[in-house]
Chain A
Amino acid sequence: MKKELNSATKSIIATLLGLLAGAILMISIGSNPFEGFSYLFKGGLMNIERIGNSIATATTLILTGLSVAFAFKTGLFNIGVSGQMIIGGLCATIIGLKVDMARPLLLFVMLLVAILGGAIWGIIPGLLKAKFNVHEVVSTIMMNWIALWVTYYTVQTFLKDVQETQSADLQIYAQLKVPWLTELFNGSSINLGIFIALLAVIFVKIILDKTTLGFELKAVGFNKEAARCNGIAVNRNVILSMMIAGALAGLAGLTFYTGFAKNIQIGILPSQGFDGIAVALLGVTSPFGVLIASLFFGVLHTGKGFMSAMTDIPPQIADTIIAIIIYFTATSLLIQRVWTKILRKRDNKKTEEGGKN
């Protein structure tokens, strides 16, 4: 019998259990779960426009998920994705609104400043952790609020148009939306961000698996003290890890505020930052896992409205399914432990019996 359940298997089991729980919920409110699920998935996949919308929703989640997953690998819990995202988006929006240059160059500069903005917002908690041992959960949450109010002030003071609650709209040429892609997907909100996200998946995969940096980062994540004993600069890696995680979140901000949306609304921390934690968990913190989990969440988010429009099932059921999936993903570690214990007990028994004979 296999000792370790494959991590992908665990995620799939968690997903199925989540869907099953959703079905039970649907039955309990007197709805037909087959009907419910068929509309849920139709809503996300029924036509090319909806597929485009699902991908567009997934785009930002891929990057926030990567950000969380990357920090996880170094044993850091980055809850500051929302803040890093909003700062990245803010930097890109400032360039997009205020700077006038040829479109490819403009988009490239926007990309760079989004990375930079997110990285700075990530590096501060990294430094605090490395120098003063400030727990990153606390400092990243605080950075979220600083980001929120910095954006609030900046938008209201420099970037607003008529409405007080959002920045001016970006011109078409300063958005990640491109006509050929929009038309290909029949007017959906899909944009160039998906290519950025896919490149980021590959980039993270290579860093983690093929470079010394990735090896060191993971070593710190597995066992800090062991890593230190082996001459790995733990503090440097903590800072680097948070910086890269922040940069990924900054990119998420770019795809969200200049691709999915076309302005920054103030007073709202983007929920994608927190969904990133869920995506990273479900994707077992592997880049491709994050990609698949994000696409799945994208379909759920896009389809849930259609499900509740077609049936009496409230959209909260879809949110509940997502929550239950996360719950089972988290507890799958527990299931693994139970599984291992059972196996060990049986092995022990066997050896004992073997000894007797």
Chain B
Amino acid sequence: MKKSLSIILSLMLVVALLAGCSGGTTSKSSIEKMTPGSNLSFKVGMVTDAGTIDDKSFNQGTWEGVVQAGLDFGLETKYLKPSGTTQAEYLTEIGNLYDAGYKFIVCPGFKFETTIFEAQTKYPDAKFVLIDGYPHTGDYNPVVGSNVVSIFFAENESGFYAGLAAALQLKTGEVGFIGGMEIPAVQKFNWGFQQGIKYANDTYDTTITMNAENFVYQGSFDNVAAGQQLAAGMFDKGVDAIFCAAGGVGVGAINEAKQRANNGEKVWIIGVDVDQYSEGIYDGTKSIILTSAMKKIDQASYDMILDETFNRFQGGQILTFDSTNGGVGIPVENPNLDKSVVTKVQDAFDKVVAGTIVVAAEQGNLFK
């Protein structure tokens, strides 16, 4: 009874997805091939990366997708937080999930790469989703097992839209960047952001300036105090908006901006990974979050579980979520952006999808 109800519910959801999902990965042709509701008996587990489940970013995004899928398909879900971030600790938690019957396991973060390499052969009847990484032995040659899907995002495109939106909204002034660790995902956000600013300056005659000294990597994802100091330094030097791709370090920058905004200063933060608008709320209703460079992690984890329910898990593949499948972009609602800005960003989005704008994922002659 319960099962049939959940099948009906999931069918309804698929219909809803068909109707409402504009940017999802579920294209029409693939949906036609679906055989509805054939697998709803698996349990979904997740192992968190460094940081907590409510990190407003990577772990949270992944988990929200898992929870949503669990609700929609009537699946049991569970997350475990390892004691540390070594391979041994990750493997222990994967083992815990596996032994408890959670054989569909989602792992966010590149730190899981060698762990999943071990796990894919150790637990051949389990399935793994690895976000932002691919399994390898430590030599970076991808060995994606038939029970593993690897997911990457085009952060450069996401950063590009955020940069473009910021430039169009501010029209003039200076922007900066605070990164966490200097890892590819963060670097690509940065490089895309700079390209977005340049594109706006070239195409829409905005006059936004950028200085190399205001493009920094703090070196961690959890040093809130350092984020606040960096942001304070930049704002003092006259920077108007800072793009933070730095987890907890970004939280410090947001706090600094909120304080300054409360004192009447006009400063902005550009959020990352998820829509951080609500994080930047001060004075009741206003927010210092101009917009956010989103990576739709929740959608990625949701889609992979959806695939499994239809027995079409794309094992062995490395998938990329970019503009063409709606995996990146700025939020739907942007209270701090003018309508015209949003329209222009949408315009650029369409051009990226069409291929007339190409956002480089390499440094080239950009700041590091």
Q: List residues of A whose CB falls within 8 A of some B CB.
A: 43, 46, 49-50, 53, 56-57, 152, 161-165, 168-169, 187, 189, 260-262, 265-268, 270-271, 301-302, 305-306, 308-310, 315
Contact = CB atoms under 8 A, between A and B. Distances in A.
Interface residue tally on B, bucketed by range? 20 to 34
Interface in B91-141: 91-93, 95-97, 99-100, 102, 110-111, 114, 122, 138, 140
B122 A187 contact: yes
A261 B221 CA distance: 21
Interface stretch (B9-17, B82-90, B198-206, B358-366): B82-90
B97 A309 contact: yes
Contacts of A169: 114, 138
Nearest to B181: A165
A306 to B, nearest CB: 4
Given A163-B183, A164-B183, A309 B81 contact: no
Given A165-B181, A309-B100, A302 B87 contact: no
B80 interface: yes
Interface in B306-333: none
Given A164-B182, A261-B87, A261-B88, 20 more contacts: A49-B95, A161-B138, A163-B110, A164-B183, A189-B92, A260-B88, A265-B85, A267-B222, A271-B83, A301-B83, A302-B92, A305-B92, A305-B96, A305-B97, A306-B99, A308-B78, A308-B80, A309-B102, A315-B80, A315-B81
Contacts of A261: 86-88
Q: Which 9 A-B pairs have the closest CB atoms?
A: A309-B100, A305-B96, A189-B88, A261-B86, A169-B138, A267-B220, A306-B96, A309-B96, A164-B182
Given A152-B219, A165-B181, A310 B100 contact: yes
A306 B84 contact: no
Nearest to A49: B95
A309 B80 CA distance: 7
B45 interface: yes
A163 B140 CA distance: 10
Given A162-B140, A169-B114, A306-B99, A267 B219 contact: yes
B80 A305 contact: yes
From A49, A260, A301, A305, name the one whose CB has the most chain B CB atoms within 10 angstroms: A305
Given A187-B122, A305-B80, A165 B183 contact: yes
Interface of B: 45, 50, 78, 80-88, 91-93, 95-97, 99-100, 102, 110-111, 114, 122, 138, 140, 181-183, 219-222
A218 B228 CA distance: 46
Contacts of A265: 85-86, 111
A268 B220 CA distance: 9
Given A165-B181, A165-B183, A305 B86 contact: no
A53 B88 contact: yes
Contacts of B84: 268, 270-271
A262 B84 CA distance: 14
B88 A305 contact: no
B219 A305 contact: no
A265 B96 CA distance: 24
A267 B217 CA distance: 13
A50 B88 CA distance: 12
A307 B181 CA distance: 33
B181 A164 contact: yes
Nearest to B43: A309
A49 B92 CA distance: 10
Contacts of B86: 260-261, 265
16 contacts: A50-B95, A57-B83, A165-B111, A169-B114, A189-B88, A189-B91, A260-B86, A266-B219, A267-B222, A302-B92, A305-B92, A306-B96, A308-B80, A309-B97, A309-B99, A309-B100
A268 B111 CA distance: 14
